[in-house]
Structure 1
Amino acid sequence: MEELPPAIRDAHSLAVISPHLDDAVLSCGALLGTYVRLGRQATTVTLFNGKPQNPLSEAAVSFHESIGLRDDPMGSRETEDDHAHALLGVDTVRLDMAEALYRCDDAGQHLYPGGQDIFVSQGDVREKEMVDRIAEALSTVPALRSADLVLAPLGVGNHVDHLLVSAAARLLDRSAESVVWYEELPYILYDHCAGWEETLAHGSPFLCRFSDDDWERKLDAIDCYASQHPILWFEPEFRRQEITGHARKLGSGTPAERYWRSQ
């Protein structure tokens, strides 16, 4: 690893806050795997892995059909996540909260009944109370409290779950130097998300460059999330090339992940 600021270079334990089961590995998988290879402690903390409750919205039913997981979608996704973490050697903690697709109001009405309703502008985030709930849940995780360094999502892509988690991470009782922000893959690859840096990245960026072996391990871990590939990529069969092409462009030929420090 090169060009690491002291916060990352000197940290012996790392915790990545992951809105969903695949986010930490997608965005930070190379850093996670490298930490483990160097004999350091790495943990992911996933918020939204709660099992869906009936009745499901039409959007949820459609989503389950599109990923081929009708009977136990979250159980199957957790198995994928287990395989990815085992490959990287990373620990995981799951907090069992319901993701946006499954959340309802007090009257039992789905909060996000349409497939695109989960994508909102920053100024239109509902469920303000969820920010405090998420922050409180995170504060109970020993691996996160004791971590030298915490990585949190910026909210690229405007998925409401990511925006809520990003806001909650800013409430953690930690020094600014001990929190680093990651940019979410695959949203950073989408044309319609171009320009996100202007609204979300208020700090200074830095690169973590990786060996080809460490990078291939990340790609292998991403491969574990087979149910999500048709959702995340327009051409899933080219995902490894697309991810690596972007990473090599960032790293001037060497695969890299980019992170952000708060100002």
Structure 2
Amino acid sequence: MDLPLPLLNETAAAWGVPLSATQSAQFATYAAELVRWNAHTNLTAITTPHDISVRHFLDSLACARYWMAPEPPTSLIDIGSGAGFPGVPLKLLWPTLRLTLVESVGKKAVFLQHLVDVLALPGVTIVQARAEVAGRDPQHREQYDIVTARAVAELRVLAEYCLPLVRAGGCMLAPKGSNLAPELSAAHAAIATLGGQVRIVAPVVLPGLEPRTIAVIDKLHPTPAAYPRAVGVPARRPL
């Protein structure tokens, strides 16, 4: 597959997250494996080299711009990881990152393990579970610098999935579409209840696409023990 590496490299560099030749080669391998597996496993509707670069890889790397510390984060958990976005691109960007990918669908979890093996990525754990279960597991609860989730749920539901997993002082990064205002308005109370506070909703401009947004939510306080609620409850009865 001919991934448009100049587009990927130039955009990432302009964002202040430049990629080495080794990292670019890893992204090319990732794209090839995604397309190969997608022929028999429903991973994504985005399969052209250009769209994979922009809609998957760059959309994922945009999250890195909102980690404000001078040093890379040490740990990240990605909820509903699917084909690995945004968690795996961020691992390629930050090779020392301890990454946990949470994916409840078995076939997608198998792909993620294959991808980690092919890319020879150390420090990656794949958890086949629902987010509500992971959020109550002491191995994962409030253990991460960053929690990410893309295209999983509306923001007030997503906050209950995600905020229990990130430590106080860390943050939640949620790539979203262009019109986040209604979701954000409905989510403020839930975010506060769960120990978070919205830092910024920032535009994400991807080459050739309408602007998207990313919600950056700081974790200020530990999440109360009552959350997350049982599997399925956050979606049925949002906070």
- State the TM-score bracket (shorter-chain normalisation): 0.3 to 0.5
Q: Normalising by the residue count of structure 2, what TM-score does the alignment of the two structures yield?
A: 0.44
Q: Normalising by the residue count of structure 1, what TM-score does the alignment of the two structures yield?
A: 0.41
Q: Which structure ranks higher in relative contact order (CA pairs < 8 Å, sequence separation ≥ 6)?
A: 1
Query: Which structure is higher in helix share?
Result: 1
